[in-house]
């Protein structure tokens, strides 16, 4: 094993979670929320507690600094809401720098004499503009300089869907990476087919939005303002229906079967769904088909629809398009002769595809791969094969590690090909 291979280090900048860590972690990286908190300046407490005064707090420490619910919207920053960070968003880039530093310092082997920096493989959304690549390079260089230790020897960047394909050794496939901020539909044939990529403006944050609206409607407006609570409620209560109309009909006729009480561990907070238990199925359906007629009443009340996606400034993908329609649109941008192959290996990755199916509800609820297969078959696409990524939350990180191990160290970064190693240490 070469020195490079011993110190390959992966970074997955997900819209909700930041996954990171070196090659020796094998299958599962470390993971923290991709967020940062900007606490109010204090003249007393930091000095009394002999703590460092921090401009931005990341990782597990965030919980200790949270103030009022009203403060969350301005002080708690999620930098990659839709996978892309604005070039001039100073707070967002500060958060990205801090979570990057957090990970590198956590695994920095202080007593290893032969260590001369990690070989970092960062992974970004497929639609990330060039300036994000430039800024990620700068962030790692700045961390090296500020810490005055060789944390990063060399760095490269790959798109998240490519990392998923690499981790599954898939040569020709369609990767659908769905995280908190967006859903990237990416055909792959020995590399990304860039002209066919569609980054749909719909992801876990939209499932959160419909979940928050449901909480408001049943009388929990205060809780609906806390994103962390909404996410927990969504993950525990939300269901993905085989067929939404059938699921709603069964739940309304037998609400006791689908009723649920959600309790927040360590608190007295609980939310109960009884007669409203049918709404559990709206949470999952919204990601896959927000144009279903049942959502029209929400839109009429002012609920924000998913934003349209603009491709090359000309083509418009409606925000309400079903996921099956967008997959077909993406695949049809590829040569006809490889389209059947793209449908025969669809890989689902990302936390937004982790819908559980309670054993008592297998007649009405389903998983993401079955849902997409059924939706595509309804559109007349035969022989569809959909598989879930192994450990969907970690497949990007795993692909980044595999890429770092296999890509030759002597290949320098090339801006035309968007590949290679950028050396930060002489």
**Alpha-carbon distances, residue 121 vs 85, 208, 247, 330 (angstroms):** 19, 30, 43, 27
Instruction: Dig out the tokens for 325 from the structure.
Output: 């329609």
Locate the domains of the chain by residue range.
3-35+78-160+393-423, 198-388
Contact 359, 187 (CB under 8 A): no
Which pLDDT value is given to residue 126? 84
What whole-number distance in Å separates Cα of residue 229 and Cα of residue 216?
13
Distance CA 145, CA 380 (A): 56
Contact 425, 381 (CB under 8 A): no
The HSE-up count of residue 90 (CA atoms within 13 Å, CB side) is 2
Instruction: Pick the closest to residue 125 from 28, 240, 34, 207 (CA basis).
Output: 34
- Rounded distance, CA 3 to CA 10, Å? 16
pLDDT tens-digit map of 107-139: 998 777 778 899 999 999 888 899 999 999 999
The mean pLDDT of 296-314, rounded to a whole number, is 87
Predicted confidence (pLDDT) per residue in 145-179, tens digit: 999 888 999 999 999 999 999 999 999 999 998 88
Task: Judge whether residue 46 has pLDDT over 60.
Answer: no
Mean confidence (pLDDT) of the chain: 89
**What share of the chain has pLDDT > 90, as a percent?**
61
- Residue 44 pLDDT: 40
Return d(Cα 29, Cα 147) in angstroms, integer: 23
Q: Are strands 422-423 and 152-159 parallel, antiparallel or unpaired?
A: antiparallel
Question: pLDDT per residue over 323-380, tens digit each?
Answer: 999 999 999 999 999 999 999 999 998 888 989 999 999 999 999 999 999 999 999 9
| CATH match of 198-388 with 3.40.50.150 | no
Half-sphere exposure of 173 (CA within 13 A, CB side): 24
In 160-314, beta strands by DSSP E: 172-178, 183-189, 198-200, 260-263, 270-273, 309-311
Question: Is residue 190 predicted with pLDDT exceeding 80?
Answer: yes
Place of tokens 């007349």: 380
3-35+78-160+393-423 shares its CATH topology with 198-388: yes
pLDDT over threshold 60, residue 47: no
Q: Tell me: pLDDT of 2 over 90.
A: no
The CATH number of domain 3-35+78-160+393-423, selected from 3.50.50.60, 3.90.550.10, 3.40.605.10, 3.30.420.40 = 3.30.420.40
Does residue 94 register a pLDDT over 90? yes
Q: Whole-angstrom Cα distance, residue 363 to residue 371?
A: 13
Q: Which residue has the higher pLDDT, 406 or 67?
A: 406
Within a 10 A sphere around the Cβ of 58, how many other Cβ atoms? 25
pLDDT, residue 40, reads 74
Provide the β-strand partners of residue 121.
10, 156
Cβ-based burial of 27 (10 A; exposed 0-12, middle 13-18, buried ≥19): exposed
pLDDT value for 43: 40
Structure tokens at 192: 């990304």
CB atoms within 10 A of CB 53: 11
The reported pLDDT for the residue numbered 48 is 47
In which band, very low, low, confident or very high, does the pLDDT at 52 lie, cut at 50, 70 and 90?
low
Which residues contact residue 83 at a Cβ distance below 8 angstroms, ignoring those fewer than 6 apart? 15, 124, 125, 127, 128, 179, 181, 182, 184, 199
What is d(CA 363, CA 345) in angstroms, rounded to the nearest whole number?
26
Query: How confident is the model over 225-251, as pLDDT tens digits?
Result: 888 899 999 999 999 999 999 999 999
Out of 36-45, 53-62, 185-194, 381-390, least confident range: 36-45
pLDDT of 42 reads 60
Task: State pTM to two decimals.
Answer: 0.83
Question: Average pLDDT in the 293-315 region?
Answer: 88
The CA distance from 343 to 187, in Å, is 9
């Amino acid at each position: 094993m070469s020195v490079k291979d011993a110190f390959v280090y992966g970074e997955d900048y997900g819209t909700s979670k930041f996954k990171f860590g070196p090659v020796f972690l094998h299958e599962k990286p470390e993971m923290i929320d991709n967020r940062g908190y900007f606490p109010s300046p204090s003249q007393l407490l930091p000095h009394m507690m002999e703590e460092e005064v921090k401009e931005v707090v990341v990782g597990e420490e965030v919980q200790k600094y949270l103030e009022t619910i009203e403060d969350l919207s301005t002080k708690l920053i999620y930098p990659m809401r839709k996978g892309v960070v604005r070039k001039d968003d100073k707070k967002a880039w500060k958060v990205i720098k801090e979570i990057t530093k957090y990970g590198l310092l956590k695994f920095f082997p202080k007593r290893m004499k032969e260590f001369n920096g990690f070989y970092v493989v960062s992974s970004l959304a497929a639609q990330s503009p060039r300036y994000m690549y430039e800024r990620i390079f700068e962030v790692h260089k700045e961390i090296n300089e500020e810490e005055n230790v060789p944390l990063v020897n060399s760095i490269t960047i790959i798109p998240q869907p490519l990392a998923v394909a690499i981790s599954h050794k898939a040569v020709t496939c369609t990767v659908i990476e769905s995280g908190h901020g967006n859903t990237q539909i990416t055909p792959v044939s020995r590399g990304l087919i860039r002209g066919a990529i569609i980054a749909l403006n719909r992801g876990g944050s939209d499932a959160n939005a419909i979940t928050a609206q449901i909480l408001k409607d049943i009388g929990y407006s205060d809780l609906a303002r806390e994103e962390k609570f909404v996410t927990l409620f969504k993950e525990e209560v939300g269901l993905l229906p085989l067929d939404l109309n059938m699921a709603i009909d069964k739940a309304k006729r037998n609400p006791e079967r689908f009723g649920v009480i959600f309790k927040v561990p360590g608190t007295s907070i609980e939310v109960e769904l009884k007669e409203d238990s049918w709404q559990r199925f709206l949470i999952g359906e919204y990601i896959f088909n927000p144009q279903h007629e049942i959502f029209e009443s929400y839109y009429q009340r002012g609920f924000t629809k998913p934003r349209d996606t603009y491709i090359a400034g000309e083509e418009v993908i409606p925000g309400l398009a079903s996921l099956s329609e967008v997959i077909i649109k993406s695949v049809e941008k590829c040569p006809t002769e490889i389209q059947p192959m793209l449908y025969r290996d669809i890989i689902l990755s990302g936390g937004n595809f982790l819908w559980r199916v309670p054993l008592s509800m297998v007649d009405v609820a389903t998983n993401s791969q079955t849902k997409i297969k059924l939706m595509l078959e309804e559109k007349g696409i035969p022989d569809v094969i959909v598989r879930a990524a192994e450990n969907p939350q970690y497949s990007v990180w795993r692909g980044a590690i595999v890429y770092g191990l296999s890509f030759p160290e002597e290949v320098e970064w090339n801006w035309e090909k968007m590949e290679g190693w950028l050396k930060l240490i002489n």
